Amino acid sequence: MRPDHEALIVIDVQNDFCPGGALAVAGGDEIVPRVNALMDEFAVKVLTQDWHPADHASFAANHPGAAPFSLTEMPYGPQVLWPAHCIQGTHGAAFHKDLATDPADLILRKGFRPAIDSYSAFFENDHETPTGLEGYLKTRGVRELTLVGLATDFCVAYSAIDAARLGFGVTVLEAACRAIDLDGSLAKARDGMRAAGARMVA
């Protein structure tokens, strides 16, 4: 068991991000055994869950004529328009059936505000509206985070960068992550995580 000041953050291992899902990440389900094994090593374990209303502003279907994966401008900056995914209460929003959810101390739902997306486990995409995770971790005495999950180049990367900026030590375990890699997004995300001070471990 690792020291009590270390936490495992498992990002969005949900059906819609796994093969067959609405926004599938290639090999997304392959990480589940590794993630489950890691749960035994950490005293503090947090799962995040994308949890969108059907009218979410980040869905291409809610922008007439817009194609999935196109860019639009939101009040908080550029936003990728995604296929509808992880809609509250649906099978797609549920965790992968083989993911061990019982060991989690906290399940944090994000992206539930209709007008703003939320990649990071710490902030909405305006980089200002907090999810409350920072306070939870700090009141539990956590200083070091290991991040795993989906997808490396979006929700994992945003979470890692925010965590580092908030003063946590951050390790991203890439073997327990998978990426979308949209137009070079994986290389860009890796550069951004390293620049923020996160450790990338194979």
CA distance linking residue 175 with residue 193, whole number of Å: 16
Point out the catalytic residue in the list 86, 110, 117, 177.
Answer: 110
CA distance linking residue 201 with residue 175, whole number of Å: 8
Point out the catalytic residue in the list 12, 16, 117, 153.
Answer: 12
CA distance linking residue 80 with residue 82, whole number of Å: 6
Point out the catalytic residue in the list 18, 86, 155, 177.
Answer: 155
| Catalytic residue flag (residue 155) | yes
How far, in Å, are 70, 165, 171 from residue 197 at the CA level?
30, 8, 9
Q: What is 84-152 written as a DSSP string? A: S-SBTTSGGGSBPTTS--TT-SEEEEE--STT----SSSB-TTS-SB-SHHHHHHHTT--EEEEEEE-I
Contacts for 184 with CB less than 8 Å, ≥ 6 apart: none
| Catalytic residue flag (residue 12) | yes
Active site residues: 12, 110, 155
